[in-house]
């Protein structure tokens, strides 16, 4: 059904070298089912590639997934690249094998939220709804 406001558009990306895409695909499907516009970039995206995609697609949100342990380097690199391209309004969240201590550090570096293994999909959807309360998301 048509709405005045377009749905929130989310770039979902695998940064880093690992190819573990089970989680990212499940999350992408769940967000799509929840009414968001989801664009999955595929594997091995550099921070520059992710930001390029976000700007080209006019996305409001970037979701990052990583399982290789390089999150402390690559997640902040995406945030920094957004700053450099003056796109700090784009919200960055992430998920993967990320220890608790690192979560606090990543939030300090500008990552809005981290979802770790075992997170219910609904929790991610609820978080986005809270974050973008005014956006209409079409019901399927």
Q: Interface residues with another protein (CB under 8 A)?
A: 16-22, 25-26, 28-30, 32, 38, 40-44, 46, 67-74, 77, 97, 99-101, 116-118, 120-122
CA dist 106 and 85 (Å) reads 20
Residue among 55 and 121 whose Cβ is closer to another protein: 121
Question: Residue 27, Cβ neighbours under 10 Å: how many?
Answer: 22
Q: How far is the CB of 89 from another protein (least distance, A)?
A: 26
Residue among 90 and 98 whose Cβ is closer to another protein: 98
62 within 8 A of 31, measured Cβ to Cβ: no
Residue among 31 and 82 whose Cβ is closer to another protein: 31
Q: What are phi and psi of 89, to 5 degrees?
A: -75, -15
């Amino acid at each position: 059904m048509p709405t005045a406001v377009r749905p929130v558009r989310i770039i979902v990306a695998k940064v880093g070298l690992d190819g573990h895409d089970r989680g990212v695909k499940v999350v992408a499907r769940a967000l799509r089912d929840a009414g968001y516009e989801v664009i999955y970039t595929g594997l091995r995206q550099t921070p520059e590639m992710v930001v390029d995609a976000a700007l080209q697609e006019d996305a409001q949100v970037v979701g990052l997934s990583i399982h290789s342990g390089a999150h402390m380097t690559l997640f902040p690199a995406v945030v920094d690249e957004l700053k450099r391209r003056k796109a700090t309004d784009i919200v960055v969240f992430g998920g993967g094998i990320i220890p608790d201590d690192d979560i606090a550090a990543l939030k300090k570096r500008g990552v809005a939220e981290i979802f770790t293994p075992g997170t219910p999909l609904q929790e991610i959807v609820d978080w986005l709804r809270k974050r973008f309360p005014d956006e209409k998301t079409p019901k399927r």
